């Protein structure tokens, strides 16, 4: 299938700054407030487009969409539930409307005045009501680093790791959108092996650089999704900062896994970039040895070449780049993750979120957490202002960025920004 909206030669009559994450070839979806409640929107350059106004003016009437109310709801869940074909049709229609050669919307002054706003004039909100949330652990470099640090350098990966995408069910209520202020969590830790646990603010506040996909499909309990069909159930992706309190995690995680060390906040980028927009950036994943079970055997290019960056910005200072990684490093891809999630008959819904796990690359500057970057605090990182970090300080901001780029087009995600506040008294 040819996706016309992906044509790199397309230009929009809306101005798009050079190096924008949001050229006309992107057309992401999100929720914004134009001052009168949350509305579905897309973004071209620094212009935000209110989809409800376009629906008011009949610009979607020709499409085969049964219920136009999806363009008026405060979250994208019902819009997402329309599924892949409708999403493609809407994206193609938007591409057409904003294309240089099309005058249909451009010449409708009233519609433009109502629908188009500068990004500075709007509040960008949480795109979906997250139903269920899974966090995987699918980067082999990350799992290996953690295994070396906490267990045995000679047997860094646990015996199950190359056989299945390890994951756990997380907390969806604490997933919030970029711009969030998150308090340092309090909890139990055990700083000294010889002494009893203590209670207080976490001392080892960390980020995890992840991507998350959002499902569009709905299955019944008992049904499974095959690895070959899995991508048909995926709406799109966001950047996902899985904030982590390492000291709380270390004491609490045995034997059932992470709990309160993760559920005090996870921060996503606001614009959901569709799988279609990312099509030009498919790449082969790493070779999987030993051979995986047939239900996990994915054919073709299932990884995506998406550059990822993490910056730390002190309260009074410039952001310092501390990590450069790439989504293509994932050992287990999204199709395998969703096939595995549902192989037991677990049902899924539109708006569910599945995070990749920390995305680390092969080199020390590509590690996706402070735990790895500072190697458990033994190698502090120096920021531009000369200050050092082993983990994250109060009043630091964590900024994550992601973009895919070839010689013709750049498809980006914008940012996930988290301000870290001191623990609540």
Catalogue the active-site residues. Answer: 142
As beta bridge partners, residue 320 has 312
Least distance in angstroms from the C-beta of 407 to Mn ion: 33
Q: Which two tokens stand for residue 150?
A: 């906490």
| 330 vs 321: CA distance, rounded Å | 21
Q: Does 415 bind Mn ion (CB under 5 A)?
A: no
Q: 24-83: which residues touch Mn ion (CB under 5 A)? A: none
Q: Which window, 56-64, 193-201, 204-212, 214-222, contacts Mn ion (CB under 5 A)?
A: 204-212
Least distance in angstroms from the C-beta of 239 to Mn ion: 13
DSSP 8-state code for residue 21:
S
| 130 vs 171: CA distance, rounded Å | 10
Q: Which window, 7-15, 115-123, 237-245, 315-323, contacts Mn ion (CB under 5 A)?
A: 237-245
Least distance in angstroms from the C-beta of 258 to Mn ion: 8
Q: What is the contact mask toward Mn ion in residues 126 to 145, using x (rule: CB under 5 A)? A: ---------x----------
CA dihedral angle for residue 341, residue 347, residue 352, residue 355, rounded to 10 degrees: -10
The residue (of 21 and 242) whose beta carbon lies closer to Mn ion is: 242
Least distance in angstroms from the C-beta of 334 to Mn ion: 15
| 176 vs 360: CA distance, rounded Å | 23
The residue (of 26 and 369) whose beta carbon lies closer to Mn ion is: 369
| 189 vs 244: CA distance, rounded Å | 13
Least distance in angstroms from the C-beta of 150 to Mn ion: 15
Q: Does 208 bind Mn ion (CB under 5 A)?
A: yes
Runs of H (alpha helix) within 42-105: 51-56, 77-81, 84-98
The residue (of 168 and 295) whose beta carbon lies closer to Mn ion is: 168
CA dihedral angle for residue 63, residue 271, residue 234, residue 295, rounded to 10 degrees: 160
Q: Which residue is nearest to Mn ion (CB)?
A: 242
Q: What is the contact mask toward Mn ion in residues 312 to 331, using x (rule: CB under 5 A)? A: --------------------
Least distance in angstroms from the C-beta of 338 to Mn ion: 17
Q: 239-258: which residues touch Mn ion (CB under 5 A)? A: 242
Q: Which two tokens stand for residue 139?
A: 């980067």
Q: How many CB atoms neighbour CB 133 within 10 A? A: 21
The residue (of 52 and 309) whose beta carbon lies closer to Mn ion is: 309
The residue (of 359 and 417) whose beta carbon lies closer to Mn ion is: 359
Query: For residue 310, which phi and psi values (nearest 5 degrees)?
Result: -125, 135
Q: 37 — alpha (psi -120 to 50), left (phi > 0) or beta?
A: left
The residue (of 208 and 276) whose beta carbon lies closer to Mn ion is: 208
Q: How many CB atoms neighbour CB 143 within 10 A? A: 21
Cis before residue 261, ω within 30 degrees of 0? Answer: no
Q: Which window, 15-23, 234-242, 328-336, 411-419, contacts Mn ion (CB under 5 A)?
A: 234-242
Cβ contact 41:24 at 8 Å: no
DSSP 109-136: HHHHHHHEEEGGGSEEE-SS----EEEE
Site size for Mn ion (CB under 5 A): 3
Q: Which two tokens stand for residue 227?
A: 């690895």
**Rg from Cα positions in the chain:** 22
CA 39 from centre of chain: 21
β-strand pairing of 266-268 with 175-177: parallel
The residue (of 47 and 326) whose beta carbon lies closer to Mn ion is: 326
Least distance in angstroms from the C-beta of 242 to Mn ion: 4
Q: Which window, 65-73, 208-216, 285-293, 325-333, contacts Mn ion (CB under 5 A)?
A: 208-216
Q: Which residues bind Mn ion (CB under 5 A)?
A: 135, 208, 242
């Amino acid at each position: 299938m040819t996706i016309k909206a992906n044509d790199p030669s397309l230009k929009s009559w809306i101005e798009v700054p050079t190096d924008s994450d949001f050229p006309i070839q992107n057309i992401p979806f999100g929720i914004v407030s134009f001052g009168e409640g949350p509305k579905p929107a897309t973004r071209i350059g620094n212009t935000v487009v209110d989809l409800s106004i376009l629906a008011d003016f009949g610009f979607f009437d020709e499409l085969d969409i049964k219920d136009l109310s999806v363009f008026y709801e405060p979250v994208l869940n019902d819009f997402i539930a329309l599924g892949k074909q409708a999403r493609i049709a809407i994206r193609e229609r938007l591409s057409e409307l904003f294309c240089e050669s099309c005058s249909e919307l451009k010449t409708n002054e009233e519609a433009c005045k109502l629908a188009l706003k500068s990004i500075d004039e709007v509040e960008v909100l949480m795109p979906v009501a997250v139903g269920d949330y899974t966090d995987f652990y699918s980067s082999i470099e990350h799992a290996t680093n953690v295994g070396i640090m906490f267990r045995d350098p000679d047997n860094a990966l646990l015996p199950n790791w190359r056989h299945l995408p390890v994951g756990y069910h997380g907390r969806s209520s604490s997933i919030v959108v970029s711009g969030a202020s998150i308090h340092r969590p309090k909890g139990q830790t055990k700083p000294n092996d010889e002494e009893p646990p203590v209670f207080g603010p976490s001392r080892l506040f960390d980020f995890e650089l992840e991507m998350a996909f959002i499902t569009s499909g709905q299955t019944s309990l008992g049904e499974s999704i095959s690895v070959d069909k899995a991508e048909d159930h995926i709406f799109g992706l966001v950047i996902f900062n899985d904030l982590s309190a390492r000291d709380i995690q270390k004491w609490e995680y045995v034997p059932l896994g992470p709990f309160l060390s993760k559920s005090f906040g996870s921060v996503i980028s606001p614009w959901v970039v569709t799988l279609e927009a990312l099509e030009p950036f498919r790449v082969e994943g790493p070779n999987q040895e030993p051979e995986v079970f047939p239900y996990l055997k994915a054919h073709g290019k299932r990884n995506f070449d998406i550059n990822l960056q993490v910056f730390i910005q002190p309260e009074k200072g410039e952001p310092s780049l501390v990590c450069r990684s790439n989504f293509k490093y994932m050992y287990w891809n999204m199709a395998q993750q969703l096939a595995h999630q549902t192989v037991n008959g677990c049902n899924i819904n539109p708006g569910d979120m599945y995070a990749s796990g920390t995305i680390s690359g092969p080199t020390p500057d590509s590690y996706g957490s402070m735990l790895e970057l500072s190697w458990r605090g033994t190698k502090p990182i120096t920021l531009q202002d000369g200050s050092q970090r082993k983990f994250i300080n109060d009043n630091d901001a964590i900024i994550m960025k992601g973009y895919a780029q070839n010689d013709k087009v750049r498809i980006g995600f914008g940012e996930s920004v988290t301000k870290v506040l001191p623990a609540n008294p």
